[in-house]
Amino acid sequence: QVQLVESGGGLVQAGGSLVLSCAASGRTISRYTMAWFRQTPGKEREFVAAHKHSNNTPYYADSVKGRFIIRKDNAKNTVYLQMSNLKPEDTAVYYCAADASVIVSSLRQASQYDYWGPGTQVTVSS
């Protein structure tokens, strides 16, 4: 079992930056694909970014590419999402997710992840 807890959310003006953290416990995340998803009311959970452990490669949604960076620190058992040039449409609850066996072709699908954090709210004002 992996327990995940997100932190770092808050209110920021458009164009600003935030760093979200996801602290894991219970298992080491070195052999897990770690991902960030986000969700707004009435919409499905949306893929943001993932770090695939097997090929040490990050993957991003087109909407955040060039603005967000996912970074995995195995020593701290923590994954980060560095968000810059934030836009009002980035407003959402951000969730951290983990899975040991998700494949590359499926890592953008929320249903493929076994472990989830409770989420942290990010609000970007215009």
State whether the Cα torsion 122-63-83-8 is positive or negative.
positive
pLDDT tens readout for residues 1-14: 999 999 999 999 99
pLDDT tens readout for residues 67-122: 999 999 999 999 999 999 999 999 999 999 999 999 999 999 999 999 999 999 99
Task: Determine the pLDDT at residue 90.
Answer: 98
Residue 117: name the closest of 92, 98, 100 by CA: 98
